[in-house]
Structure 1
């Protein structure tokens, strides 16, 4: 939560999930607030590596938002950038 608060300038209790992936792309941690406290999910791959969505390396942002469906694909070993998505209605973002 210190990284989220101090380095990212975000509030860990705002309802978002914060995803941290190690440099070798073999470990993933998800931090989010639940009723009563913070929860950390930890996944360490025995074989292979996580495939992340394409990221602009020139972007100076300290974080990048992704959809929950993309996170589920990453965890399941599916490359989000190689998936063909059918057209669907999405609510307007605030």
Structure 2
């Protein structure tokens, strides 16, 4: 319960979201705008126009979980290299939520089995 980790897939909604939307409204955006299934177990990330509020919608066994954070100062900054890409990595999501901006980075390739 209440568990998000690097094993999940994360998708960022590219538009601005009305933060008054609850479970049903966000599920509508996921299915119509993102073309994804809201009950797939993936995590969907929504930002408001001023980028001061963030919501994460996630389906767990038995129901939806909605994570919500409102900043008192500053804004959320989505990763710079989005360029129409919908998916986020766990690391990109954590950096965005924590307010850490990386101006230049390179990711070294790692050997995978």
After TM superposition, the score normalised by the length of structure 1 is: 0.77
Deviation by residue 1:20-47 (Cα, 9 ceiling, x = unmatched): 0011010000001111101110000000
* 1:30 and 2:56 are equivalent in the alignment: yes
Aligned counterpart, 1:8: 34
Alignment counterpart, residue 84 of structure 1, candidates 101, 105, 113: 105
RMSD: 2.2
Stretches (4+) displaced over 4 A:
none
Q: CA deviation at 1:86?
A: 4.9
After TM superposition, the score normalised by the length of structure 2 is: 0.66
User: Tell me, which stretches of 5 or more residues in structure 2 are unaligned?
Assistant: 1-26
Greater RCO (CA < 8 Å, at least 6 residues apart): 2
Deviation by residue 1:36-77 (Cα, 9 ceiling, x = unmatched): 101110000000001111233xx4xxx611101110111111
* 1:68 and 2:90 are equivalent in the alignment: yes
